[in-house]
Amino acid sequence: MRLPPIRRTPKRQILPAEVGGECVFCAILAGRAESSTVHDDGSGPVAFLDLQPAVPGHTLVVPRRHVVDLAGLTPEEGAAMWELGRRVAAAARTAGLADGVNLFLADGVTAGQEIWHVHLHVLPRVAGSVLRLDAARPADRAELDATAARLRDALPPARS
């Protein structure tokens, strides 16, 4: 079953990534900017609703420490973010906001990152809403294998 994709509407504004020279997410975490908090235990990652939700319940999960991208996260911070994302996804189902959930993380400007504080989008989904990422063309297997080899060769060792 193919359904229409979620799109940014013309009403969506591009909000500033910084407020008064401070990362907007850091301002939220410090209580200097308003948010609708979903979870904050005082030590781990925090979950709050996106100010311009793509769908009802669109939640952002952010590490407490200011980290620009995935490479800057410790394994523990990354695991804690994904665990909280899993919990938020389960909550969306329990709350009747979702029949399914998409998790999305943009890492870098080319990937669409707009706020320079790593964050995981938890997107509750119901019948009639679909997020579709279309490839420009089918990829050639040899090209895929060559790219995979380049990535394997450049992969940093796991942190302990």
Q: Three-class SS of residue 77?
A: helix
**63 pLDDT above the threshold of 80:** yes
Residue 122: which residues within 8 A CB-CB, separation 6 or more? 47, 57, 58, 59, 60, 61, 85, 88, 89, 92, 101, 102, 103
Tokens linked to 151: 């990535």
Tell me how crowded residue 19 is: count the other CB atoms within 10 A of its CB.
14
Tell me the one-letter amino acid at 101. Answer: V
pLDDT of residue 56: 82
Backbone angles phi, psi at 64, to 5 degrees: -65, -40
Q: Can 119 be counted among the known catalytic residues?
A: yes
Summarize pLDDT for 67-82 with one digit per residue, the tens.
Answer: 999 999 999 999 999 9
Rounded-to-integer distance, Cα 155 and Cα 67, Å: 20
Give the pLDDT band of residue 144 (cuts 50, 70, 90).
low
Specify which residues 130 forms β-bridges with: 5
Summarize pLDDT for 105-131 with one digit per residue, the tens.
Answer: 999 988 888 899 999 999 989 998 755
**5 pLDDT above the threshold of 50:** no
Assess if CATH 3.60.70.12 describes domain 18-132.
no
Which is more confidently placed, 80 or 154? 80
Rounded-to-integer distance, Cα 57 and Cα 49, Å: 7
Which is more confidently placed, 153 or 72? 72
- Domain boundaries, given as residue ranges, for the chain: 18-132
Q: What is the mean pLDDT of residues 2-28?
A: 61
Least confidently predicted of 72-76, 91-95, 103-107, 139-143? 139-143
> Which candidate in 58, 117, 119, 121 is catalytic?
119
Which is more confidently placed, 35 or 144? 35
